[in-house]
Amino acid sequence: MTSALAGLARTPAPAPALDGLPLTVGLLGREVLVVGAGPLSARRAETFLEAGAYVRVVAPEVSPEMAALADRAGAGVVVVVRSFTPADLDTPWMVHVATGDARVDAEVAELCEARRLWCVAAGDAARGSARVPARTEVATPAGLVRIAVDSGDPRRSVRVGRHVARALATAPAGLRARRRTEAGWVALVGGCGDSDLLTVRALRLVHAADVLVVEGAADGGLVAELDDDVEVIETVPGAPAAWVADLIAARRAAGHGVVQIAASATLAAAAAELDAVGLPFQVVPGAV
């Protein structure tokens, strides 16, 4: 079995349909080796640190940016001031190399390949076995949606990521969470529910919600943009605020995100009822 697998590894692979496979890598509690301590390495080291990694930096010289990161991060970032040696590859799960010296970068990448370690070669992406994509984030009540863009051209990827973020800000369909892991949330949005008149922030909340409570008839265009399993509840104007608050509280207790769209007076009454039972909520001006 071992010899058969070894032979398979040496067999030339067919031309890939994609230039790499986008993945989310779990780095929590795992070591990432950063070879080189310039400003780019400092930015990448901070990214790895934010992902929960333990970062070890090896470089003969350390930039002010890397030194400042090490000071802020404490034990999370350890800087070893010396040249790279092959023994540095004994413990990390992943390696990032950007020394500014093409020869050293190539050596590190080749050693990683031999050891089957994922390597990001920032100076020459073609030498590495992994790339760090451009990232952008869109905030939703259920948490951040992180968008990664990899086009092979870092600057192009950044521009595309910004365009996607702007597009989601104005047309936020698809931001709704499907997994119930914690308590829900409540937003009270002022307005009539006409999708053409809602602010961008209000639209984001509506598209992130599991339950939409609307005073009067819901706007057909708005409802048509929602997922089929979103619950839309139409309440008659003047419905008892306590009844509406109980309805909202029950949906939130089930882990749902709830948005109520109503006139200001109705929202004020609902807010008072929710306050009385200690239910957290946010109030959003909904109309432009």
The whole-angstrom separation of Cα 181 and Cα 40 is 36
Bigger pLDDT: 101 or 13? 101
Average pLDDT over residues 242-271: 90
The whole-angstrom separation of Cα 113 and Cα 260 is 55
Angle at 80 between CA 74 and CA 81, to 5 degrees: 125
Give the tens place of pLDDT for each residue, 179-234: 555 678 999 998 765 666 778 788 888 888 899 998 887 777 778 878 888 899 99
* 175 pLDDT more than 70: no
Total residues found in the chain within this entry: 288
**Phi-psi map region of 149: left, alpha, beta (phi>0 left; psi -120 to 50 alpha):** beta
Predicted structure pTM score: 0.63
Q: What is the pLDDT of residue 8?
A: 47
When pLDDT is cut at 50, 70 and 90, the band that residue 3 belongs to is very low
7's tokens = 């032979």
269's tokens = 């009454």
Q: Quick count: other Cβ atoms within 10 Å of Cβ 60?
A: 13
* 151 pLDDT more than 70: yes
